[in-house]
A and B are shown apart, each in its own frame.
Chain A
């Protein structure tokens, strides 16, 4: 299979503040926006690891903590 390690990715986030990565240069899917980080797949993953500290969807987090 293709070596995806050479590609550049964006860190993306949705309304529920769930994170994922998206290959740079492809149109973003609906409901997702750039989170402000670009890099290799591993760099993006490392970034997500530091910013996504609570896996609960935002709506649930607000309900439980509110």
Chain B
């Protein structure tokens, strides 16, 4: 067998053979179609937005195949694909294979130069993109829109010929200077599937993690292998994919059992909280020893595998199951099913066992070769030596066989290197660099930090041009982090470049950048250095220019969260970029919220915000003001019975929709309605009456005590034409909830229509709103004091009111009568906003807020105002997909000086938004109670004007088989004087104002909206100029009107020494004083003291009311308690007032007018409840 000299006592040429496992002579689509026939309704691809069943997957793939075939794609062709991370894109890749073609996956966002190279290299006739970026790319949407299931069923597409056809082509780094296109056949994937079922026990019962990029070979193991075995693939989207906390949540939410992770992520996840995840693989780089121990300790029986395999052998051919404590390097293990490996020398002769040599791989996983490159194919795929059959692949990897029969990886034979898990060929880097005019020679090395460094000669070479070409032509990992132009390279005695010397010369220099300073930067420095694998950073260092990528950014974010206890996101690293900017951003952030601290099974109690709404509801004579209305027009073959059933499932999963708040002695409690009872109304209607019917439905009040707190109306207006209206009380819903509701409604509806299984919303079922209430009160108790201190100093001295000039006087009691006006932001202004936001690294909403704030400054004649903005308290992942009332109003204090530039104002708005949101444990109510602002009766306290970007993008209801159009719902009320919404529509950005029509005429609001857009346009024209210099057309007209001229500044209310007041005289006064004392917890007040001045709160008033109602045996209106805030005036009112029963709104309105007539001379100063905001 071997002509090499035999050394006695040492075995030569041991061929390691994996277990023999039969595999079907089949194709990927054929295998998946078989699984779809067996279990059509089983979930094939789980995704947070929209799952695909096996039936859906195959049907969609067939439509893609059909469309491609009609475009002339034939078996043996190649289709270049730019997929996104959705089930639809996976179906598209399957569709390409179904058409008999091979898909060629390329990452979206690949530079144009590289994309062109790829198209040319694989000879693709068609480029299919989830989100096209060039005219010659075909949009997946358009492709699917042009087909229907019916056509396809009529002519089922033929499967590819057989296992020898190419399934896909994946690019890898190659030593020829251009990427190599590895062509893999269906039979190889079939063998991998059968082998994985055997070796790792993967079965239809598993949920497999879809994490790898579709442009990498591991995605074949992530996606096709499980689908061929009938398992479920849980596909991670981009947002979750680059955030360790989100990944942890994702893995748990989907109960993932099996998956491959990059080495970095393994270190950032907590295995103890992932008991279902029992088969964990890494393959990009060997995991750290401590990770092996961490993942295999504990009570969960878990397999933790270090896997090995080149793209040229499909995915993996060796694996090593590691456990416990390791001190020596981890081996890459033994051959997996049907594969053979040997260690050979340059002549392909076996080396003695234990000696170093090249790893040779044989087996069904071997790819066909490099597309269009027979020379390289013949070089790597060689006639199998050692008496073995067929071809063998020379991996170019240096290994050694160990005495225990496992293989140890030692490095590369050529100049390929692993950079952050990706194969990078230094020759390729050099060739690309040498292609730049003026570069005579290029030498690439891997620096100590695991980054590519590049030296080019001569010293006059254009470094920028080299970098640009590298960025355009090379994968991100291969783009040099450091480029130097030198006149001479150090060379060793043999004339070879002295690599260590070059490495030292290229070590990222820090001379131009200052070292970190101050405690915030010093705290961040070691984390930054660790994530990048570099020395200490300079203040101006850019994370991504220093070699950072999404994986290292994920690492950085995770360590900032865990070690610095600051709540940052991946987006922060993206937008801040430089070290100093990120350090400042981190310092402004609050504590991250640990999602795993969320309790389960908490007792049901109303949240503080729900209590507040409950209170407002008692006070209000316009109970419909807190209704949230959602209206959709539906065209097509809607199934009303299925829709009703889907709504039932939604309220089953989201318990809070069934909550109601019975009154227990002045305190709200929670009870829960039956899951199968829904206020569902279905009727026929002529189109002309729809608006009126919907308006009446949406304005219909809810009874908080009795419930239900949501209802649905379905109007049939003609053949295949419907209007669906949902009305929900704000106490159990908010703007964010609508998206959650739509997603779940769409999923349940599709399941019911298709007769699929019932898939409950796992997250909603695991935690209820009661758990949020419990978690929230624990958090507020923990950090409330610190947050309160921050708000105290933030708001000290701010004016207590923003009173935009009005057309009418305010009423005695706040009214909630609402109207709406809107204006489209002209395209050029929208573009200016976008440009500005990008330039300053802020959101577009922040730029818009700056424009609005500037308008408000001018209309109130002050450059220090408080504007409210709603935030959803949903940063904890456990509540991200839950229906409920999570919204709080933040009182943003916005200020500028006479010469503040527009840019500076925008940045001030950003700082106010960021820092206010970082102190969420103090509610607006608490702020109001601390400052007790002097205010006009009939307004909401402290915040009268709100800027709302919460619903920036309107959620879309995606009901299977029908077309839906969102209809602007009727206005049910205005909770503030004016709320400015920023809404993104298909046509662009719209500014929409909901305003109190008892205060403002429609004309005034329309002029205001137009003035804001024109002011903004002028501001953005000259961002360096003072904001005060920008022109606001219509300013004079708008500034005229009724207005409180000079609201008092806010000062922390000091506990007031009660006057030595008079003691109660009459029996009624005694009863009232007793009720006060019980509610406040102190009897230290006189009968002329104001309830709120001696420590009473709005909610305390409800206890007083309950006590007095009992004592006097009649219902007492809350509004009366407000209007008579002293013991004396209240007792006088009770003695002389009308003893009518509290009843209809009409009664209450009458009483309100009566109360106004009886008003005492002293203006009451109630710390009235703040209102929520949708």
Contact = CB atoms under 8 A, between A and B. Distances in A.
Interface of A: 1-2, 4, 7, 12, 14, 18-23, 26, 28-32, 44-46, 48-49, 52-53, 55-57, 59-60, 63-64
Given A55-B183, A56-B76, 6 more contacts: A18-B391, A19-B374, A20-B391, A49-B375, A52-B374, A63-B162
Contact of B375 (A2, A22, A48, A60): A48
21 contacts: A2-B347, A4-B346, A12-B383, A18-B369, A20-B378, A20-B381, A20-B383, A21-B379, A23-B348, A28-B383, A29-B388, A30-B387, A45-B379, A48-B375, A55-B369, A55-B371, A55-B372, A56-B76, A56-B368, A57-B164, A64-B165
Interface string B357-370: 00000000000111
Interface in B400-429: 413
B695 to A, nearest CB: 65
A17 B1121 CA distance: 97
Contacts of A29: 383-385, 387-388
B368 A55 contact: yes
B331 to A, nearest CB: 23
Nearest to B165: A60
Contacts of A55: 183, 368-372, 374, 377
B382 A21 contact: yes
B374 A49 contact: yes
Contacts of B346: 1-2, 4
A48 B377 CA distance: 10
Contacts of A2: 345-347
A21 B385 CA distance: 12
A57 to B, nearest CB: 6
B381 A18 contact: yes
B367 to A, nearest CB: 10
B511 interface: no
A64 B383 contact: no
B1004 to A, nearest CB: 74
B352 interface: no
Contacts of A28: 383
Contact of A32 (B75, B347, B383): B383
Contact of B383 (A22, A45, A46, A56): A22
B500 interface: no
B1144 interface: no
Contact of B3 (A19, A21, A26, A64): A26
B375 A46 contact: yes
Given A63-B161, A64-B161, A19 B387 contact: no
Contact of B390 (A1, A14, A22, A53): A14
Contacts of B676: none
B383 A52 contact: no
Interface in B126-172: 161-162, 164-165
Contacts of B345: 2
A29 B1 CA distance: 10
B374 A20 contact: no
Nearest to B166: A56
User: How big is chain B's contact interface, by range?
Assistant: 20 to 34
B544 to A, nearest CB: 38
Nearest to A22: B383
Given A2-B346, A14-B391, A46-B375, A20 B382 contact: yes
Contact of A64 (B75, B348, B369, B385): B75
B679 interface: no
Nearest to A42: B375
Nearest to A48: B378
B387 A57 contact: no
B389 interface: yes
A5 B381 CA distance: 18
7 closest pairs, A vs B, by CB? A52-B374, A60-B164, A49-B375, A32-B383, A48-B378, A45-B375, A20-B382
Contacts of B384: 29
Contact of A31 (B347, B368, B371, B390): B390
Contacts of B383: 12, 14, 20, 22, 28-29, 31-32
B94 to A, nearest CB: 21
A57 B75 contact: no
B368 A57 contact: yes
A4 to B, nearest CB: 5
Residue of A14, A46, A53, A55 with most chain B CB atoms under a 10 A cut-off: A55
B395 to A, nearest CB: 15
A29 B369 CA distance: 20
A20 B384 CA distance: 10
B604 to A, nearest CB: 65
Contacts of A56: 76, 164, 368
Given A26-B3, A29-B385, A32-B383, A64 B374 contact: no
B344 to A, nearest CB: 12
Nearest to A60: B164
Nearest to B75: A64
A36 B377 CA distance: 19
Nearest to A11: B378
Nearest to B348: A23
Contact of B374 (A7, A26, A53, A57): A53
Contacts of B164: 56-57, 59-60, 63
A12 B161 CA distance: 28
A53 to B, nearest CB: 7
Contacts of B183: 55
Nearest to A2: B346
A35 B378 CA distance: 13
Contacts of A22: 382-383
A45 B381 CA distance: 12
B184 to A, nearest CB: 12
B176 to A, nearest CB: 11
Nearest to A29: B383
Contacts of B3: 26
Contacts of B162: 60, 63
Contact of A23 (B347, B372, B375): B347
Contacts of A49: 374-375
A1 B411 CA distance: 14
A61 to B, nearest CB: 9
B183 to A, nearest CB: 7
Nearest to B380: A20
Nearest to A30: B389
A66 to B, nearest CB: 10
Contact of B378 (A7, A19, A23): A19
A21 B389 contact: no
Contacts of A21: 378-379, 382
Residue of A1, A4, A20, A52 with most chain B CB atoms under a 10 A cut-off: A20
A43 to B, nearest CB: 11
Interface string B216-256: 00000000000000000000000000000000000000000
B378 A26 contact: no
A32 B378 CA distance: 13
A41 B377 CA distance: 14
Contacts of A14: 383, 390-391
B185 to A, nearest CB: 8
Nearest to B1: A27
Nearest to A59: B164
B76 A64 contact: yes
Contacts of B371: 55
A64 B347 CA distance: 36
A14 to B, nearest CB: 7
Contacts of A63: 161-162, 164
Contacts of A60: 161-162, 164-165
Contacts of A12: 383
Nearest to A63: B161
A59 B390 CA distance: 14
Nearest to B372: A55
A32 B369 CA distance: 17
A32 B389 CA distance: 9
Interface in B637-688: none
Contacts of A4: 346-347
B366 to A, nearest CB: 11
